[in-house]
Copies of this chain bind each other. A is one copy, B any other.
Amino acid sequence: MRFRPLVRVCLSTALIPQFRVEDYVVVVIDILRATTSFAVALDRGVREIRPVRSLRECRELGRQGYLTAAERGAKKVPGFDFGNSPFDFLEADLRDKKLAFTTTNGTRALWAVRKAKKVVTGAFVNMSVLVDWLRQQEEPVLLVCSGWKDQVNMEDTLFAGAVATELEGDFRVNDDATLIAMSLYQMADSRKKYYLEHSAHFERLVELGMQNDVKYSLRRDLHPVLPYYQEGRLVNALSIPV
């Protein structure tokens, strides 16, 4: 019988300590909106993205010639070039630019899994590229939902469930968190919009006038890139062999 590696879901950054990340290829997920925007920016030609935790670091990289993107509490921080809306990057000229990017949840998750075998980021906008690449690795996969302030959220869980569902057959599933995410996705598939409109973060974004960001973040395969994390930088694994 063919060897099938495990695929597992970690539902919150607060649960990462339960896993030996060294054993996994890790996918960091922050659908609304960091990992969606990473894919957009790389597809628009950005050479590298430096995810950083503090506004201070981001500002410092700005002085070194990086473009800067900064979001706090779902809003663009004044004095930086961009917020973290995918539309900020869709409309800008980014060819061969370098981008420093600080965001609330996604950056923390990347930092927390930096010792993994490999780290990439995933979103609906680059889902098929991600799934194909994961199949090629032939390694155990851990799908890490960034969540919202360590709390489990709907959109990241649905995406993790979608990826695990795609991988099933080539991968094994043996834990309940993964089964829960897959069940939720399979039942929600045709009702994804319904589910997300009832999610807590969605409501926050709508209150802030960001419905279009949400709609965009749920579209599939618009940006065929794979953000790959190494030495503190995200690069497109499809254009730079890693």
A residues near B (Cβ < 8 Å) are 11-12, 14-15, 17-18, 148-154, 157, 174-177, 179-180, 183-184, 187-188, 195, 198-201
Contact = CB atoms under 8 A, between A and B. Distances in A.
A179 B150 contact: no
Nearest to A15: B14
Nearest to A198: B179
Contacts of A188: 183
A157 B180 contact: yes
Contact of A176 (B151, B177, B179, B187): B151
29 contacts: A11-B11, A11-B152, A12-B15, A14-B15, A15-B15, A15-B150, A18-B149, A18-B150, A18-B151, A148-B176, A151-B175, A151-B177, A152-B180, A153-B176, A154-B180, A157-B176, A157-B180, A174-B200, A175-B200, A176-B199, A176-B200, A176-B201, A179-B195, A179-B198, A179-B200, A180-B184, A183-B188, A184-B184, A187-B187
Contact of A152 (B148, B177, B200): B177
Contacts of A15: 12, 14-15, 150-152
A161 to B, nearest CB: 10
A46 to B, nearest CB: 30
Contacts of A180: 152, 154, 157, 180, 184
Contacts of A200: 174-176, 179
Nearest to A203: B174
A68 B176 CA distance: 31
Contacts of A174: 200
B154 A176 contact: yes
Contacts of A187: 183, 187
A154 B174 CA distance: 12
A19 to B, nearest CB: 10
Nearest to A17: B14
A175 B148 CA distance: 10
A169 to B, nearest CB: 16
Contacts of A198: 179
A198 B173 CA distance: 10
Contacts of A12: 15
